[in-house]
Amino acid sequence: MKPVVLLIGRLPNVIGDVAQQLDHLPIQWLGAHDQNEVRRQLDTEPRIACAIMGAGLDDNIRGEMVGIIAARRPDICIHLKDRTSGPEGLVPFVERVVQHEVLDGLKHG
């Protein structure tokens, strides 16, 4: 069974683009772009290994989403992308996080 990663971003198509570009990884991707969708994904998918949040969201919304994830699922690591690398930095960021946090953990776990 593939590990599940929750991608959180401002625009739904951005999440789809990331999943499509990284479809070579053995990951099941879930997406969310607002607080309600984050809640729904957390409540319906117990296998989420980590959450990765893009930099396009407003800081207040990012803070709220971190709070939602931490309160509902304290077992999930939350990764926030920097703003400096811009939108083109999202795919490499997601790939690094997934490789080191999720896939390498499977090898050693």
Token reading at 18 = 């990331």
Find the domain containing 23 and state its range: 4-108
CATH number, residue 20: 3.40.50.2300
Whole-model pTM: value is: 0.93
Q: What is the pLDDT of residues 44-58, one digit of tens each?
A: 999 999 999 999 999
Give the pLDDT confidence score for residue 108 in this predicted structure.
64
Average pLDDT over residues 91-107: 90
Which class for 18: exposed (0-12), middle (13-18), buried (19 or more C-beta within 10 A)? buried
Q: What is the pLDDT of residues 62-85, one digit of tens each?
A: 999 999 999 999 999 999 999 999
**Cβ-Cβ contacts under 8 Å for 96 (sequence gap 6 or more):** none
Q: How many domains does the chain have?
A: 1
